[in-house]
Amino acid sequence: MIPYTIEPRVDTGVTNVTLGVWLFLASEVMLFGALFSAYALLRVSAVAWPHGRDLLSVDTGLINTAVLLAATFLVWRARARDSRPSVRRLLGSSVLAVVFVAVKGHEYQSELARGLVPATNTFMAMYFTLTGLHALHVVGGTIANLWAVIGSRRVGPAMTAGRVHALSLYWAFVDVVWLVILALVYLS
Amino acid sequence: MRIVSTDHKVIGLQYLVTSLTFLVAGFLFILLIRWQLAYPGQPIPLIGGWLAASMAPGGVMLPEFYNQLTAMHGTTMVFLGVVPFAVGAFGNYLIPLMIGAPDMAFPRLNATSYWLYLAGGLVMFAGFFLPGGAASSGWTSYPPLADIATAGQTTWLVGMFLIILSSLLGAINSITTILQLRAPGLTMMRLPFFVWTQLVTSFLLLLAFPPLQGAAVLQLMDRLAKTSFFLPSGLVVAGSSLSVSGGGSPILWQHLFWFLAHPEVYVLILPALGIVAEVIANATRKPLWGYRAMVGSALFMGGMSFLVWAHHMFLTGMGTTMSAFFQVTTMIISVPSVVIVSSLLLSLHGGSIRFTVPALFALGFLPMFGVGGLSGLPLGLAASDIPLHDTYYVVGHFHYVVAPGTLFALFAGIYYWFPKVTGRMLHAGLGRIHFWGSLVGMNGVFFPMFVQGLAGVNRRLYDGGRSYASGAAIAHTYSGQWWSVVLLGVVQLVFIANLVWTLARGRRAAENPWRATTLEWTTTSPPPHENFDTPPQVRRGPYDYSPAGAIDDFVAQDHA
C-alpha cells in the first residue's frame, strides 16, 4: 500500500496527488511559457502583424471565456462537499467543457470557410496552435472529470475529494492559459 | 512476470532491457558510420549486401543514408538509450529501495511512462521504412533543413513528443516519491547522493523538456499544416522559392531546442555522478568527502543549467552582450562539476580501495569525465568556440562526457547492483576484460576526434572531409578509430555474454555482498513485492563506513 495517497504527510504537508499535480502544472507553465515566448519573438520580428479583433470573432471568444470560467467554477464548488453533489457538479462542469470545445470547433469552421488557415500567416498559425493545444487540455480535463465521477463509488469519498482537489487546480490553470490566449490573440 | 506490471522493479527492468537494446542499435549505426569514414566508397563487409538499394546499393553507403545514421545515432543514444537507462532503469529500480518505500508514488503512471517511451522509440525507428528513410537532419533537427526533410522527420517529431510525455510523467513520479515516501528518520540530508542526483535530474526533465515539446509541435505544424514558424521569407530550395507565408525564425528553434538540450547534458551526467559516488564510498570503505558540498553543487548545477543554453549558439550572430552573459554563466557552471569530481577524488584519499569491477568503472569514470569536462571549456568561450564549432572537436568533447563518462558510470552501476536485482554476482574476470577493453576502445575512438577537430574537419561530412585539404591531411586517423570501434564491440559482446551466463549459472550472492550501508542492501536479493518485509526505520546517514568503535567496517542506515 502506498502511503500518503489520502492523508497528507506531516513534514511536507501535502498528499502525493497534490504534489504531483503541482509538479505537472509547473511543467505545463514551461510548455505554454515556451509557446508564448515564441509568440513574442515572432511578433516583434514580424514586418506586419494583424490585429486579432480584425480576423477573429471576439464575441465568440468572450462567450467561450464565460463558459470555461463557469466550468471551472463548478469544479471548485465540487470541492469540500460530500460525494453526491460533487459528482453532479463535476458532470455539469464536463457538459460546459464540451460546450466550450463545440463552440471552438464552430469557430474553426467559420475561419476555415473564410480561407483563414494556419498557412495564411504566422498570426493564424499561432492562433490555431495555441487554441488547439488549449482545447486538447480542455478535452483532457473533461476525461479526467468523468474518470473521477466513474471512480467515485469504487474509491470512496476521501479519495474522490483528493482527486477533485487536483482537478480544481488543473482547471484553474486551463483558465489562466485561456485568459492569456484571449489577451494575446483575440484582443490585441 | 507480467508484461504490463506496475511494480517499480519490473518497470525498471523493462526500461533496462529496452534501453540496452536501443544502445545496441545506436552502436550498430556507429559501426556503419565508422566503416564509411575509414573506407569511404568501399562495400560494407558482411551485412553490406543485405541493405536496401535506397541505403547502400552494392553495399556502398549513400550520403543520404549516412545522414540518417548520424541523426538516428545521436537521438537513439541520448533520448532512447542513456537517459532511459540512467533515469528510467536505475531511478525506477533503486529510488524506492534506497528510500525504504514499497513502490513509486504513482505505480500506474509509472507503467504508462514506460509504454509511452517504448512507443516513442518505435515510432521514431519506423522512419527507416518510409520513403526517404529515417530523420536525417541531425539529432538537433535544425530548421529550415528539418522543416523540408523527408517524412522520417515527422516520425522523429511524433516519437520525440511521446518520449517527452514519458519523461514528464516519470519526473513527476520520481520527485513525488522522493519527497513523500521517504522512510521514517530518512531526512533529506540522510539521502544517498544517488537519490539527490535523481531528484535534481527529475526537476530538469520536468522543466526543461516542455519547451522542446512545444517546439516539436511548432515544427510539426510547419511540416503538416504548412505554417512558417521556423521558415524565414524568401527561402530558395532546389532552385525555386518556397511558397510559404514566411516570417519565421530558424533561430527560435535553436533557442527552444537548447533550452532543453543543455539541461539534458546534466540529465546525462548527474545520475552518473550519483552512481559513482555510491560505488566509491563502498569501495573505499569510508564516508564520502564533502557530502553536503556535493548536494549543494548538484542543486546549484541543476538551477544554473537553465542559464547557459545559448553557448551552443555563438555562431548565430548574437550580440556581444548576450554572448558575454552566456560565457560567464558557462564558466560558472563548471565550478559545481569540479566540486563534485574533486570531492570524489578526495574521497579516495586515505581509503583502502577494493578494486572490484564496479570500482574499476567508477575510477575510470573520473579521468574520462575530466577530459570531457575540461575539453568543454574552450567551447564555452566564444573566441575559441567559433573556429571549433561543428568540428570533430565538439564531437570528441561530448562523447568523452557521455560515453567513457556516463556509460562507464552506468556499467559500474550494473556490476554493483546486479546481485541485488538477480541474487547472482557477475563474473569478475569477464568484467575486467569488459572494463579494460572499453577503456582502450573508447579512447581509441574519441581521442583522434580532438586531433581531427583541431585540424578543422567538419563533423558532418560523409567522406570524413577528404575532399578538403584539412580533411585529407588527417584521413589516416580514421582507420584506427574503426579498429577501436571493433574492439569496443567485441568487449561489449563479452559483457552481454557475462550477463547471460551469470543469469543462468553465476555465483549466488547474499543480500549484502558488497557490505554496503544503504537501505536497498537490507532486504532480500531480489527484493520481494513491496520491497521490505517490515518498513525500515532510518537512524543514521548514508555512508557510515568504518565508524570508530564498531565491530564491522560498516553500519547499515537502519541499524540501531
Q: Show me where the domains of chain B are located.
A: 8-229+247-522
Do residue B171 and residue A38 have CB atoms under 8 angstroms apart? no
Please report which residue ranges of B181-249 form alpha helices under DSSP H: 193-224
CB pairs under 8 A between A and B: 122
Q: Which three cell numbers stand for residue B530?
A: 513491496
Do residue A2 and residue B217 have CB atoms under 8 angstroms apart? no
For B110, B118, B202, the CA distances from B170, given in Å and listed in that order, are 6, 13, 8
B423 touches B525 (CB < 8 A)? yes
Closest residue of chain A to B207, computed from CA coordinates:
A27
Backbone angles phi, psi at A21, to 5 degrees: -70, -35
Q: Flag whether residue A33 sits within 8 Å of chain B, measured between CB atoms.
A: yes
Q: Which DSSP string corresponds to B307-362? A: G-GGGG-GGG---HHHHHHHHHHHHHHHHHHHHHHHHHHHHHTT------HHHHHH
Architecture (CATH level 2) of domain A16-186 = Up-down Bundle (1.20)
Look up cell 546517514; give the residue. Answer: B541
A contacts of B103 (beta carbons < 8 Å): 2
What count of other Cβ atoms lies within 10 Å of the Cβ of residue B352? Answer: 10
Do residue A2 and residue B213 have CB atoms under 8 angstroms apart? no
In whole angstroms, what is the distance from residue B520 CA to residue B417 CA?
9
B contacts of A2 (beta carbons < 8 Å): 102-103, 105, 107, 181
In whole angstroms, what is the distance from residue B156 CA to residue B274 CA?
31
A175 touches A69 (CB < 8 A)? yes
In whole angstroms, what is the distance from residue B200 CA to residue B299 CA?
6
B114 touches B14 (CB < 8 A)? yes
In whole angstroms, what is the distance from residue B501 CA to residue B256 CA?
46
Backbone angles phi, psi at A120, to 5 degrees: -60, -55
- Cβ-nearest to A34 among B206, B214, B249: B214
Q: Which regions in chain B score pLDDT beneath 50?
A: none
Do residue B225 and residue A128 have CB atoms under 8 angstroms apart? yes
Do residue B176 and residue A27 have CB atoms under 8 angstroms apart? no
Shortest alpha-carbon distance between residue A104 and chain B (Å) = 19
In whole angstroms, what is the distance from residue B198 CA to residue B194 CA?
6
Do residue A27 and residue B168 have CB atoms under 8 angstroms apart? yes
In whole angstroms, what is the distance from residue B449 CA to residue B442 CA?
11
Q: Which DSSP string corresponds to B39-101? A: STTSPPTTTGGGS-TTT-GGGPPPHHHHHHHHHHHHHIIIIIIIHIIIIIIIIHHHHHHHTT-
Do residue A12 and residue B213 have CB atoms under 8 angstroms apart? no
Please determine, for residue A80, whether its predicted confidence score (pLDDT) is greater than 70.
Answer: no
Half-sphere exposure of B485 (CA within 13 A, CB side): 22
In whole angstroms, what is the distance from residue B537 CA to residue B529 CA?
19
- Cβ-nearest to B207 among A15, A30, A117: A30
In whole angstroms, what is the distance from residue B82 CA to residue B501 CA?
24
Q: Under CATH, which number does the domain B8-229+247-522 receive?
A: 1.20.210.10
Closest residue of chain A to B253, computed from CA coordinates:
A38
| pTM assigned to the model | 0.96
Do residue B217 and residue A133 have CB atoms under 8 angstroms apart? yes
Closest residue of chain A to B181, computed from CA coordinates:
A3
Do residue A27 and residue B206 have CB atoms under 8 angstroms apart? yes
pLDDT tens for residues A37-49?
Answer: 999 999 999 999 9
Half-sphere exposure of A122 (CA within 13 A, CB side): 25
B contacts of A128 (beta carbons < 8 Å): 221, 225
Closest residue of chain B to A14, computed from CA coordinates:
B180
Q: Which three cell numbers stand for residue B289?
A: 568527502
Do residue B211 and residue A28 have CB atoms under 8 angstroms apart? no
What's the gap between Cα B279 and its chain centre?
19
Shortest alpha-carbon distance between residue B204 and chain A (Å) = 10
Backbone angles phi, psi at A100, to 5 degrees: -55, -50
Q: Flag whether residue A6 sits within 8 Å of chain B, measured between CB atoms.
A: no
A contacts of B228 (beta carbons < 8 Å): 119, 122, 125
Closest residue of chain A to B104, computed from CA coordinates:
A2
Tell which residue, B257, B205, B209, B210, has the closest CA to residue B230: B257
A contacts of B225 (beta carbons < 8 Å): 117-119, 125, 128
In whole angstroms, what is the distance from residue B113 CA to residue A24 CA?
14
In whole angstroms, what is the distance from residue B253 CA to residue B230 CA?
7
Shortest alpha-carbon distance between residue A160 and chain B (Å) = 16
Q: Which three cell numbers stand for residue B544?
A: 557510515
Tell which residue, B84, B70, B86, has the closest CA to residue B118: B84
B357 touches B435 (CB < 8 A)? yes
**A residues 46..85 contacting B (CB < 8 A):** 46-47
Going by DSSP bridges, is the β-strand pair B240-241/B507-508 parallel, antiparallel, or unpaired?
A: unpaired
Do residue A20 and residue B176 have CB atoms under 8 angstroms apart? yes
Q: What is the DSSP letter of B507?
A: E
In whole angstroms, what is the distance from residue B513 CA to residue B498 CA?
18
Q: Flag whether residue A10 sits within 8 Å of chain B, measured between CB atoms.
A: no
In whole angstroms, what is the distance from residue B385 CA to residue B378 CA?
6
B contacts of A50 (beta carbons < 8 Å): none
What's the gap between Cα B7 and its chain centre?
24
Q: Which positions ≥6 away from B248 have C-beta within 8 Å?
A: A42, A122, B143, B222, B227, B228, B229, B230, B231, B232
Mean pLDDT of A131-137: 98
Q: Which DSSP string corresponds to A28-97? A: HHHHHHHHHHHHHHHHHT-S----HHHHS-HHHHHHHHHHHHHHHHHHHHTTTS-HHHHHHHHHHHHHHH
Shortest alpha-carbon distance between residue B211 and chain A (Å) = 5
In whole angstroms, what is the distance from residue B489 CA to residue B480 CA?
14
Do residue B207 and residue A133 have CB atoms under 8 angstroms apart? no
Question: How do the domains of chain A map onto residue ranges?
Answer: 16-186
B contacts of A14 (beta carbons < 8 Å): 180
Rounded to the nearest 10 degrees, what angle do helices B357-374 and B392-401 cross at? 150
Q: Which three cell numbers stand for residue A76?
A: 471548485
In one-letter notation, the amino acid at residue B511 is E
Q: Which three cell numbers stand for residue B144?
A: 529550415
Shortest alpha-carbon distance between residue A166 and chain B (Å) = 14
CA angle B351, B357, B360 (to 5 degrees): 55
- Cβ-nearest to A119 among B173, B213, B226: B226
pLDDT tens for residues B329-387?
Answer: 999 999 999 999 999 999 999 998 999 999 999 999 999 999 999 999 999 999 999 99
- Cβ-nearest to A35 among B106, B214, B249: B214
Q: Which three cell numbers stand for residue A147?
A: 474518470
In whole angstroms, what is the distance from residue B352 CA to residue B341 CA?
19
Backbone angles phi, psi at B4, to 5 degrees: -100, 105
Do residue B229 and residue A122 have CB atoms under 8 angstroms apart? yes
Shortest alpha-carbon distance between residue B145 and chain A (Å) = 19
Do residue B245 and residue A119 have CB atoms under 8 angstroms apart? yes
What's the gap between Cα B204 and its chain centre?
14
Shortest alpha-carbon distance between residue A113 and chain B (Å) = 16
Give the pLDDT score at A83. 62
Do residue A42 and residue B244 have CB atoms under 8 angstroms apart? no
In whole angstroms, what is the distance from residue B353 CA to residue B280 CA?
8
Backbone angles phi, psi at B65, to 5 degrees: -70, -35
Looking at this predicted complex, what is its ipTM? 0.96
Do residue B173 and residue A20 have CB atoms under 8 angstroms apart? yes
Q: Flag whether residue A13 sits within 8 Å of chain B, measured between CB atoms.
A: no
What count of other Cβ atoms lies within 10 Å of the Cβ of residue A175? Answer: 16
